Structure 1
Amino acid sequence: MKILFVISEVEDIIKTGGLADVGKALPIALSKLGHDVRIVMPYYKQVAKDLDLTNTIQSQIMHINGAHYTYKVKELGFHGIKIYLIDHPYFSEAQSLYADESLASNAQRFSLLSLCALSVSYYLDFAPNILHCNDWHTALTPYFMHSDYLIRHQLINKHDFFAQTKSVITIHNAAFQGAEKLDRVPLLNDHDKHHIYSDNNHVNMLRTGLMFSNKICPVSPSYAHEITSYLGSHGVSDVINQAPHKVIGILNGCDYSQWDPASDKHLPANFEIGNMKGKQECKKVLQKTAGLPPLKSTPLIGMVCRVAKQKGFDFIMPIIEDLLLHKVQFVIMGTGDAAIVAKLHDISRRHPDKFHFLEAFKPNLSHLIEAGSDFFLMPSEFEPCGLNQMYSLAYGTLPIVRHVGGLADTVIDISQSNATGFSFTEPSALNLLSTIRNALLSYHDSPSKIKKMIKQGMQTRFTWETAAKHYEHVYKSK
């Protein structure tokens, strides 16, 4: 199959979050299955600085709604895949990926990316069997392709060029929908207003993409179920429920080439199921790095995440003082909400022997926290998929999670015979505290059970090959 994969970021080129992990791993996995995958993404200012690519397509001009948009295209070979990077001032002159709207609104910027992706596909005579877009950034691509937009604005001459192309949109996080005032999106005019999803003169890019896509793939089966409810979907459940046959949840994979404790170069010592000595060394180094006493028998809880409400801090903050009454150590690394960050710094100052907070994100330290911790905390309010719990399982670190989204699909509670972690369902601080206490009690009183859970977790695999095969099935389905 020919697959046009449109996304806003790709790991190893530019990354702000987990979306980039998918942008790299899924196309590579699809390519290994024999598909011709082409990625389209922006040529950001930082990318231009890092790569300094030459043009593969010289200046192209699109005349739309009385304005003209001139762009160039760079090409990059990437693990056997061609990446086309759209060079336009909206991207190459913006100071950041998403925060700089001085040149145009994000809705306008990424609408242009979607149009350029289709234009490049047409220019190169690459008629895809599948158009695969991701989240709100590229959600208007199916609208532009399936509607009369391209013909109406004379962007293509062959009316049937995309006639056989099926569109798929992956929902990585429905909380972000690309809502914007229509007058800040010049690429959309009054005609479009009657076809896209608009409310009170605001376009909603994600909702529009869901309406026009042939298939909708949330990033885990549980999240696919959750977005059928109004609260779980952040308000897009009506679109989801209008065509439930279009919705197929597919769990993201984990890149075990980067996350393998037996070969991880970020670690002071490596380890595997048959020889776990290196994990104790990792714990010792983590304790030293965090300024904590090197207590071998004291359980250490790790956490690496955005400091945000979504990640469960409304549950964490009320119980930290109670939690620290126990024999435990706690290391958190992340950046985000200033008010929560200030409280975490305060707790760290008042409990230096038990609690350490690092306001940063350092990849090498995230690996060390995964490897050196006994437990990894992820009590998310919602978690479409999540990756850290997969890393934790691979590193023999038992996850403590809320039974929601991808966490529910990957972590099996201690109450089951094939347990790999600890989970709770009701979103409350007391339920979280009870679950952590259960984990600490099990650590001290049931070491053989903990060892069994660790082994079962380390033997669990969530691969991108499996995810790619599920997407392949979606691509082929009617």
Structure 2
Amino acid sequence: MPAKAEAGKAAKKARPVKAKRAAAPSVAPLPVPSGPPLQLLSVASEVFPLVKTGGLADVVGALPAALAEEGVQALTFVPGYPAVMEALEDGETVADLDPILGGEARVLRGRAAGLDLAVLDAPSLFARPGGPYSMPGGGEWSDNGVRFGTLCRAAALVARGAIDGYRPDVVHCHDWQAGLTPAYLHFSPDPAPPSVATIHNIAFQGQMPPDILGELGLPPEAYSIEGVEYYGSVGYLKSAVRLADRVTTVSPTYAREIRSSEFGMGLEGLIAARGADVSGILNGIDLSVWNPETDPSLAARFSRTTLGRRSANKPALLSRLGLDPDSNRPLFGVVSRLTWQKGIDLLVEALGTLLGQDADLVVLGSGEPALESALSAAASRHPDRIGVQLGYDEALAHLIQAGADALLIPSRFEPCGLTQLCALRYGAIPVAARVGGLSDTIVDTNEMARRAGVGTGVLFSPVGREPFEQALVRTCELYRSPATWRRMQTNALRTDVGWAGPARTYADLFRQLATPAVTQA
């Protein structure tokens, strides 16, 4: 089943969890070693700024620099898409995989965008137009199972020494596209390093027909419930959850949520069975990329101590989207995939309430055609109040974060979310569903928080039209209290949304796996 269709089918089962939640497993900190850095092989299907379809690329691109501060040297293993091959500097062939993979395939090593990369140069699989998963005209490549299975197989070869002089201490696999890597390590007779699998969104699982097993080069015994078999298919993410030494998700709350049928998307039983082997580590954002003091995309740069300068970005944003630049109305922004998971249908239903609160709206994103059409039609009906740009524009995304008064994130489930972290960094007040990483990163400005002066946003639950509309009304009320609003913005700008803390937690985990004897001592 294609990943997008699979996610849409699974996501429709999700509902907010109200059950009591267990404490998230913790990782005991280890001292940063003074000797050689721990060697990490990071395996992913995309990496910012070279190839990006979502937050996965941002994480894969930003984490290595933060890990370096913790004594971890990451080598990022990615497919040789045209954009990657073009950006690779001084690429050198370090492994010839032709005889093993049965076709032209080699590993190049070099640097691009400040990253140490190992690139799987397999032209028949990755030298294609379009996106990393989809054809230029739309629709996913029919051989995605083989493409990313080959990526995993090659990654396992690198992990076991295919590159002369390189042997990682730990392998870090991201999402279903890298999910078979632990299987190749597990079912090989050769010694293999431990592995960590990170689930960025459990709705995308990579389920492929069973006859793909022969093409993947996995042994027959791998196709079992203790291996890659998943309800009669080959489950890429399932095998990672089952066979990786540790499993992480991208927020503590999401790590608890996916143990339930409401959010586990069929994997909740296996997640629960792994127990303390599953933990949540919050994402961060690259503070050098998302920095309102230096951002070239802004009309006016600012900081917490020069917050007044932020106001110049609002008229610039309104003009960019064809709205009245002199408007004094509260301006809501959306930077998102326009999908059911992201709650964009709730936004469409709540437009009457938003406009009735004398507020404006700007939207940047793409996704489900019906939602794109509904938002575009609303912009046509209210050209002076609603601005919509379909697609993605990195510079405009930055300007929305700096120019909107508040950012809307009515997601039905949200593993972590990066857009609210960017909003906090830029002083746009996040208005979000109380789910996943949104609840971990936003302090609701309720009456108690307001009196204590600690609120950074507006949270609502359960996820539905009426609670969302109530949140819109409450946000507009807060906006009309300038002192309260400025305090919220100041609190938001003080929030630590960088990678330093999460990288320390990842590094502790990697060191525990690489040095189990030291950990147990």
TM over 0.5, shorter chain: yes
CA separation of 1:323 and 1:117: change in aligned 2, threshold 3 A: same
For 2:261, what is the secondary structure of its paired residue?
Answer: coil
What RMSD, in angstroms, separates the aligned Cα atoms of the two structures? 2.0
Letter in 1 for 2:184: F
Within the alignment, does 1:461 sit opposite 2:496 as a pair? yes
Letter in 1 for 2:332: I
Taking the TM superposition and a 5 Å limit, the aligned residue runs for 1:307-322 are 307-322=338-353
TM-superposed deviation, 1:53: 6.1
- Give the counterpart of 1:73 among 90, 102, 107: 107
Q: Which runs of 5+ in 1 are unaligned?
A: 152-158
Are the equivalent residues in 2 in contact too, given 1:55–1:72 (CA < 8 A)?
Answer: no
Higher relative contact order, chain-length normalized (CA < 8 Å, sep 6+): 2
Distance 1:82 1:123 in 2: 17
- Determine the structure 1 residue equivalent to 2:459: 423
- Determine the structure 1 residue equivalent to 2:39: 2
- Give the counterpart of 2:65 among 25, 28, 33: 28
- Determine the structure 2 residue equivalent to 1:37: 74
Are the equivalent residues in 1 in contact too, given 2:172–2:197 (CA < 8 A)?
Answer: yes
CA separation of 1:109 and 1:324: change in aligned 2, threshold 3 A: same
Distance 1:251 1:93 in 2: 34
- Determine the structure 1 residue equivalent to 2:118: 84
TM-score by length of 1: 0.92
TM-superposed deviation, 1:192: 2.3
Within the alignment, does 1:439 sit opposite 2:485 as a pair? no
Are the equivalent residues in 1 in contact too, given 2:250–2:416 (CA < 8 A)?
Answer: yes
TM-score by length of 2: 0.85
For 1:356, what is the secondary structure of its paired residue?
Answer: strand
Distance 1:464 1:141 in 2: 25
Letter in 1 for 2:423: S
Distance 2:149 2:236 in 1: 9
Taking the TM superposition and a 5 Å limit, the aligned residue runs for 1:96-175 are 96-100=131-135, 105-121=143-159, 122-124=161-163, 125-148=165-188, 151=189, 159-160=190-191, 162=192, 165-175=193-203
TM-superposed deviation, 1:81: 5.0
For 2:185, what is the secondary structure of its paired residue?
Answer: helix
CA separation of 1:419 and 1:97: change in aligned 2, threshold 3 A: same
TM-superposed deviation, 1:146: 1.8
For 2:341, what is the secondary structure of its paired residue?
Answer: helix
For 1:231, what is the secondary structure of its paired residue?
Answer: helix
- Determine the structure 2 residue equivalent to 1:154: none
Distance 1:262 1:351 in 2: 34
Within the alignment, does 1:368 sit opposite 2:399 as a pair? yes
Distance 2:500 2:442 in 1: 20
Distance 2:352 2:98 in 1: 60
Distance 1:296 1:352 in 2: 13
TM-superposed deviation, 1:123: 1.9
Within the alignment, does 1:191 sit opposite 2:221 as a pair? yes
Q: Which runs of 5+ in 2 are unaligned?
A: 1-37, 517-521
Distance 2:326 2:91 in 1: 55
Distance 2:89 2:349 in 1: 49
Distance 1:289 1:74 in 2: 42
Distance 2:46 2:89 in 1: 17
Distance 1:178 1:238 in 2: 18
For 1:3, what is the secondary structure of its paired residue?
Answer: strand
TM-superposed deviation, 1:103: 7.7
Are the equivalent residues in 1 in contact too, given 2:342–2:412 (CA < 8 A)?
Answer: yes
Distance 2:429 2:140 in 1: 45
Are the equivalent residues in 1 in contact too, given 2:172–2:195 (CA < 8 A)?
Answer: yes
- Alignment coverage as a number of residue pairs: 462
TM-superposed deviation, 1:9: 1.1
Instruction: Using the TM superposition, name which of 193-202 and 453-462 deviates more.
Output: 193-202
- Determine the structure 1 residue equivalent to 2:93: 56
* Identity across matched positions, percent: 32
Are the equivalent residues in 2 in contact too, given 1:303–1:331 (CA < 8 A)?
Answer: yes
Distance 2:98 2:316 in 1: 56
Distance 1:372 1:57 in 2: 47
Distance 1:102 1:389 in 2: 29
For 1:248, what is the secondary structure of its paired residue?
Answer: strand
TM-superposed deviation, 1:147: 2.1
Letter in 1 for 2:425: A
- Determine the structure 1 residue equivalent to 2:320: 289
Taking the TM superposition and a 5 Å limit, the aligned residue runs for 1:237-386 are 237-386=268-417
TM-superposed deviation, 1:128: 2.0
TM-superposed deviation, 1:52: 7.9
Instruction: Using the TM superposition, name which of 274-283 and 340-349 deviates more.
Output: 274-283
